[in-house]
Amino acid sequence: MENNELGAYHLADNPELYDVQRTNVFQFVVTGLEDLVNVSSGEKIGNAQKSLQIAVESATVPTFSQDPIVIKRGNSAIKYAGTPTWNDIKITLRDFIGAETKAALMSWQNLSYSVNSDKVLSSKNYKKTCYLIEYTSDYKKVRTWKIFGAWIKSWNPSEFNQESDDYVKIDVELSYDRAVMELPEEA
C-alpha cells in the first residue's frame, strides 16, 4: 500500500477537507456609515454601506510586519519580537452611476478631514469596523477578517480617457489599527 497523504489523490479522495479557496467569492463590508451626509448637498446618503459593499471589485487581506528588537551583548545579538505594524488594505471599487459610491467615499473621508472647515476631526467619527468575509463557491462562510479602526488614508478614481470604454474604478487605501481572523461557528 502506497502512502499518498501528500499527493493529489489524497486531495481528491477527501473533498470534504480540500477544496480550492476562490478569489472571487468575498464581501468587504464597512459598518457605521448609516448617518453619512453628502459633502456637496448636505443631504443624508441613502445606504452608503450597501453602495460600497456592492461596488467592491477587489480587496487585499490584512497583513502585518513585525520588526525585531535587537539586543547586542559582546559579539552576539539576540532578537525579540517588536511592535507589529498592520499594512494598509487596498480596495478597488466600481463607480456605479446612481449608487453614490464616490459620494459615500467622500463623505466617509470628510469625517476625518473636513474640506469645508479645513479641520482634522475626532477619530470617534471616522474610524470604522470593517469585515472581509471569505466564502466557498457555494457561499458558505470560510472565515471573516474583523478589521478595527479603519479609515480612508487615500482614494484615487481612474482617469477619464476618450480612447477607452472601461468603467471607472476607484482605488482606496485604508489604514487600520488591527485585524482578527475569525472562523465560522460549527452548526
Instruction: Please write the tens of the pLDDT for every residue from 85-104.
Output: 999 999 999 998 888 889 89
C-alpha cell belonging to residue 91: 480596495
Q: What is the pLDDT of residue 129?
A: 98
Digit-coded pLDDT (tens) for 55-65:
999 999 999 99
Digit-coded pLDDT (tens) for 132-157:
999 998 899 999 999 999 999 999 99
As to burial, measured by CB atoms within 10 angstroms (0-12 exposed, 13-18 middle, 19+ buried), residue 162 is: exposed
Residues 37, 108: Cα–Cα separation, whole Å: 9
Q: What is the CATH number of domain 20-182?
A: 2.30.110
Domain locations along the chain: 20-182
Digit-coded pLDDT (tens) for 15-64:
777 778 888 999 999 999 988 888 888 888 888 889 899 999 999 999 99
Q: Is the dihedral of CA 175, 60, 101, 143 positive or negative?
A: negative
Residues 15, 18: Cα–Cα separation, whole Å: 5
Residues 11, 17: Cα–Cα separation, whole Å: 8
Q: How many residues does the chain have?
A: 187
Residue 187 has pLDDT above 70, yes or no: no
